Amino acid sequence: MIDFSRQQLERYSRNILLDSVGVEGQEKLMNAKILIIGIGGLGSPAAMYCAAAGVGTIGIVDSDVVELSNLQRQIIHFTGDIGSPKVASATEKMEAINPDIIVKPIQVSVNAANIGSIVDGYDFVIDGTDNFPTKFLINDVCVMKGIPFSHGGILGFSGQTMTVLPKESACYRCVFHKTPPKNMIPSCSEAGVLGVVAGMLGTIQAAEALKFITGAGELLADQLLTFDALPMNFRKVKLQKNPKCAVCSEHPSITELQDEEQQDCDYQAGA
On whether the CB atoms of residues 70 and 40 are closer than 8 A, the answer is yes
Q: Provide φ and ψ at 133, rounded to 5°.
A: -55, -40
Whichever of 121 and 186 has its CB closer to other proteins, that residue is 186
Q: How far is the CB of 155 from other proteins (least distance, A)?
A: 13
Residues numbered 206-265 forming contacts with other proteins, rule: CB under 8 A: 265
Applying CB under 8 A, among 79, 183, 253, 268 the residue interacting with other proteins is: 268
Q: Which residue, among 179, 122, 114, has the nearest Cα to 145 in the 3D structure?
A: 122
CA 22 to chain centre: 25
Q: How far is the CB of 267 from other proteins (least distance, A)?
A: 3
Q: How far is the CB of 182 from other proteins (least distance, A)?
A: 13
Applying CB under 8 A, among 9, 18, 191, 237 the residue interacting with other proteins is: 191
Whichever of 83 and 243 has its CB closer to other proteins, that residue is 83
| Catalytically annotated residue among 142, 188, 245, 248 | 188
CB neighbour list of residue 83: distance below 8 Å, 6 or more residues apart: 65, 66
Whichever of 191 and 230 has its CB closer to other proteins, that residue is 191
The verdict on whether 188 is a catalytic residue reads yes
Q: How far is the CB of 271 from other proteins (least distance, A)?
A: 6
Whichever of 250 and 267 has its CB closer to other proteins, that residue is 267
Q: Provide φ and ψ at 4, rounded to 5°.
A: -75, 135
CA 62 to chain centre: 12
Whichever of 67 and 120 has its CB closer to other proteins, that residue is 67
On whether the CB atoms of residues 79 and 101 are closer than 8 A, the answer is no
Whichever of 108 and 230 has its CB closer to other proteins, that residue is 230
On whether the CB atoms of residues 127 and 135 are closer than 8 A, the answer is yes
Q: How far is the CB of 65 from other proteins (least distance, A)?
A: 16
Q: Which residue, among 52, 98, 93, 50, has the nearest Cα to 74 in the 3D structure?
A: 93
Q: Bridge-partner residues for 125, per DSSP?
A: 35, 149
Does 68 engage in binding with other proteins (CB under 8 A)?
no
The C-alpha atoms of residue 145 and residue 130 are separated, in whole angstroms, by 22
Size, binding site for other proteins by CB under 8 A: 13
Binding mask 170-189 for other proteins (x = CB under 8 A): -----------------xxx
CA atoms within 13 A on the CB side of 215: 10
Q: Which residue, among 11, 86, 97, has the nearest Cα to 50 in the 3D structure?
A: 97
Q: How far is the CB of 202 from other proteins (least distance, A)?
A: 22
Applying CB under 8 A, among 6, 79, 183, 267 the residue interacting with other proteins is: 267
Measured over the CA atoms of residue 202, residue 58, residue 74 and residue 149, the dihedral's sign is negative
Does 117 engage in binding with other proteins (CB under 8 A)?
no
Contact set with other proteins (CB under 8 A): 187-192, 265-271
- Please give the positions annotated as active site: 188
